[in-house]
């Protein structure tokens, strides 16, 4: 994969959650994203983003992934958060 360009996340089939919500998973070189009808997160990372529906959550996860992959090697790891979700949750 080109270091400056992220491929689209490959989302698995949508699954039902115990609370009646929906979720789907995408595995990529930097980890495991989960999108739900309430938001998205990267497993084992504290960052997450809110969403109005599953499609919006998947788009948010894709944007986060692209931001992480597009970073060049240097003092900050490519796994650093995109920073967008802190603003969304009011912690920026």
Question: 90 falls in which pLDDT band (50, 70, 90)?
Answer: very low
pTM for this predicted structure: 0.73
Task: Determine the Cα–Cα distance for residues 5 and 65; give it in Å rounded to an integer.
Answer: 10
φ, ψ (nearest 5 deg) of residue 88: -60, -35
Q: Is the pLDDT of residue 11 over 90?
A: yes
What's the confidence (pLDDT) of residue 6?
Answer: 78
Residues 22-40 have pLDDT tens digits of 999 999 999 999 999 999 9
CA angle 35, 81, 13 (to 5 degrees): 15
Residues 31-88 have pLDDT tens digits of 999 999 999 999 999 889 999 999 999 999 999 999 998 875 644 444 555 555 544 5
Task: Determine the Cα–Cα distance for residues 20 and 17; give it in Å rounded to an integer.
Answer: 5
Q: Which two tokens stand for residue 83?
A: 């920073």
Q: What is the sign of the dihedral through the CA atoms of 52, 45, 3 and 8?
A: negative
């Amino acid at each position: 994969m080109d270091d400056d360009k992220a491929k689209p996340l490959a989302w698995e089939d949508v699954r039902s959650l115990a609370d009646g919500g929906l979720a789907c998973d995408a595995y990529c070189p930097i980890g495991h994203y989960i999108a739900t009808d309430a938001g998205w997160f990267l497993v084992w990372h504290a960052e997450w983003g809110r969403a109005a529906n599953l499609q919006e959550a998947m788009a948010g996860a894709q944007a986060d992934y692209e931001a992480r992959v597009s970073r060049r090697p240097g003092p900050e790891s490519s796994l650093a958060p995109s920073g967008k979700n802190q603003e969304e949750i009011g912690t920026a």
